[in-house]
A = this chain, B = another copy of it.
Amino acid sequence: MERTMDLFSKETYQERRRNLMKSVSGGVLLFLGNEESSSNFKDNWYPFRQDSSFLYFFGLDLPGLVAVADLEADQVILFGDELSTEELVWHGEKPKLVDLAALVGVQEVRPSKEIGSFLAKSTQRRIHFLPPYRPENTLKLMDWLGLAAAQIQDRVSVEFIKAVAVLRSIKSAEEVREITKAVNHTVNVHRKVMQSAQAGMYEYELLGMVSGETLSGRGSLSFPPIITTDGQTLHNHRYANRLERGKMLLGDFGTETAMHYAGDITRTIPVGKRFSAVQREVYEIVWLAHRSAIAALRPGVRFLDVHLLACRKITEGLKTMGLMKGDVEEAVRQGAHAMFFPCGLGHLMGLDVHDMEDLGESYVGYTDHLQKSSQFGLKSLRFGKELEAGQVLTVEPGIYFIPQLMDSWNAQNLHRDFINFEKLADFRDFGGIRIEDDFLITPNGSELLGTPLETSPDEVESLRSNAG
């Protein structure tokens, strides 16, 4: 039988499911695979992306699948349909679903149409499901469970979420190998962009390069690439600017492997051959924050504290430049630095680039005892809890000059004790700088994943020596 998808061994999936089923008290676990997603008409599809928890427990990278694990019956069933002859004409021969299921250790396959009646028989027991982020899955849950749309969120199973988060948070050796493959592909695409970007190009030309190189390596994009000379806009998906000498280009993108493990790297480069003196000054601050944070990574340390360490390094640097002032600890405590660094230091990474973001940050990144802060800046830190060996995460400090935010804070007289607003006039067109790499938490510290990509200002300028 032709193997059309990359899978771990059958035993891997069986063990993951066994561990999960042991850790939920009872009832039926419902795993909703994803469907094809329509863009401008039903049959015009975006590239299919399977749900990551479905991939983790069942591996099968096909649309239209649903699985259940019946905890009382100790039974796992996959619901899905074989292709008809007529569908084969359009979509080609595929392995039989029963054969694919066997590859991931599932013996029982039933037609899709039977899921409703299967669940209807189980309504006396708890039916556990994860928070749906696709509207088609909301519609299915409404139909199968007889719920209104507004009731779905209340019926999500926190027990199921927590059990999944515990398992997926710690990566196995084979998962780390897959993530490393994703990071290495990401490194190669970054290096190509860092060498190829030229004044006069449009951002969309580089988007084409990133997409083309990613797909050509049998990968896919792990999130919409950020490739912009407006690096101060954190999630910029416009690609309309023309690259001008004197500006910097921020590239934040990553690839997924065929198994859908993600990479995620950011570099900021001068459009010309060299950083200006002030660009280099800011870059050095971000780089120091990056190295300081990496040095602090080890099991038992809260990532929140690593984040705050990076914030202090950024504040100290901006103080040296005369853009901030006052007591560094107090500035960070009050959140003044967040005008320049309004986001979090990093996030877990795995089958999702923001791993398990669909499950909810309060379960994945925080605990019952450590809740997320509501302070501007800190509230964008997706992950704050203690590090554990086997976690994979990004470290991505940055300094951003966001005119709207500077004007807004200035008008509100916010943090005047810590920010020299009058000195910011020269920085309105500066943009932003971010440096991001991916790390595995090891028993004694951390390990950079993938081959190192040029990071220091000198290394970056050396890569740019043949550029425009």
Assess the A215–B211 pair: CB atoms within 8 A: yes
Mark each residue of chain A from 1 to 27: 1 if its CB lies under 8 Å from any CB of chain B, else 0.
000100000000000000000000000
Which chain A residues (218-242) contact chain B, with CB distance < 8 Å?
218, 223-224, 230, 233-238, 240
* Bound: A32/B40 CA distance, A: 12
Within 8 A of B (CB), among A80-101: 85, 88-93
A172-205, CB < 8 A from B: 202, 204-205
**Copies in the assembly, this chain:** 2
Interface string of A124-160 (1 = CB under 8 A from B): 0000000001111011001100000100000000000
A residues 15-74 near B (Cβ < 8 Å) are 34, 37-47, 49-52
Task: Report if A212 contacts B (CB, 8 A).
Answer: yes
Evaluate whether A89 and B38 lie within 8 angstroms (CB atoms) in the complex, with A209-B216, A216-B208 already known.
Answer: no
Which of chain B's residues have a CB closer than 8 A to the CB of A223? 44
Partner of A89, one of B42, B134, B209, B404: B404
Q: Is A353 an interface residue (CB 8 A)?
A: yes
Binary B-proximity of A403-422 (CB < 8 A = 1, otherwise 0): 01100100000000000000
Smallest CB-CB separation from A49: which chain B residue? B39
Q: Is the CB of B40 within 8 A of A49?
A: yes
**Contact between B47 and A224, CB atoms less than 8 A apart:** yes
Is there a chain B Cβ closer than 8 Å to A365's Cβ?
no
CB-based contact B133/A402 at 8 Å? no
> Quick check: B37 and A46 within 8 Å, CB to CB?
yes
Could you tell me how many residues of chain A have their Cβ less than 8 Å away from some Cβ of chain B? Answer: 69
Contact A90 B208 (CB under 8 A): no
* Contact between B143 and A358, CB atoms less than 8 A apart: no
**28 A-B pairs in the complex with CB atoms less than 8 angstroms apart:** A37-B46, A38-B133, A40-B51, A40-B260, A40-B351, A42-B357, A44-B223, A44-B353, A44-B357, A47-B224, A85-B408, A89-B233, A89-B342, A89-B405, A90-B235, A91-B235, A92-B230, A134-B135, A135-B138, A139-B139, A143-B149, A202-B218, A204-B215, A207-B215, A208-B213, A208-B214, A208-B216, A212-B213
**Chain A contact residues, CB within 8 Å of chain B:** 4, 34, 37-47, 49-52, 85, 88-93, 133-136, 138-139, 142-143, 149, 202, 204-205, 207-209, 211-218, 223-224, 230, 233-238, 240, 260, 342, 351-354, 357-358, 402, 404-405, 408
